[in-house]
Amino acid sequence: MYKNILIPTDGSPLSRKAAQEAIEFARGQGAKVVALYVAPAYQPKVYADFVPADFVTPREYAATVRKTSARHLDFIKKLADKAGVPCACLHAMSDFPYVEIIKAAQRQRCDLIFMASHGRRGLSRLLLGSETSKVLSHSKIPVLVHR
């Protein structure tokens, strides 16, 4: 039924568990997967009259993002390889991860987004938001939520 599944990850234990389930699901469907990690966009901390000691250049930040994304995406790639599921890995930077998740699914022609939900409720959901609920609200591509 599904042929190309997007697996967004934030590297959390819940996200890793969802990735494991997504790989098994993909294997059962005979599908390939695309793993995605979205890092926050670069935000320089420079003030009018001084540069802080911990200032990070855009190049340094991009290198850190590549390193972090490789760590999280390699986990999924190894799971997919072990299961015999074809896997491509992508990373992006954005202050709106849900937008990047939807864009990646569209660009990669995915027919399913398989992602974790942290299950926040009440005030914490209101304050922290939920990338999963935003993807559910805005995606025209089906979303399978793993808890």
Q: What is the pLDDT of residue 90?
A: 98
Neighbours of 34 (CB within 10 A): 22
Q: How many domains does the chain have?
A: 1
- Tokens matching residue 96: 């709106």
Give the structural domain span for 16.
4-146
3-state secondary structure of 47: coil
Give how far Cα 108 sits from Cα of 7, 20, 62, 111, 145, Å: 12, 20, 23, 9, 19
Q: Which of 21-30, 41-50, 66-75, 80-89 has the lowest mean pLDDT?
A: 41-50
Strands of 12-73 (E only): list them. 32-39
Q: What is the pLDDT of residue 145?
A: 94
Query: Residue 120: which CATH number?
Result: 3.40.50.620
Q: How many CA atoms lie within 13 A of 74 on its CB side?
A: 6
Each residue's pLDDT tens digit, 123-145: 444 444 589 989 999 999 999 99
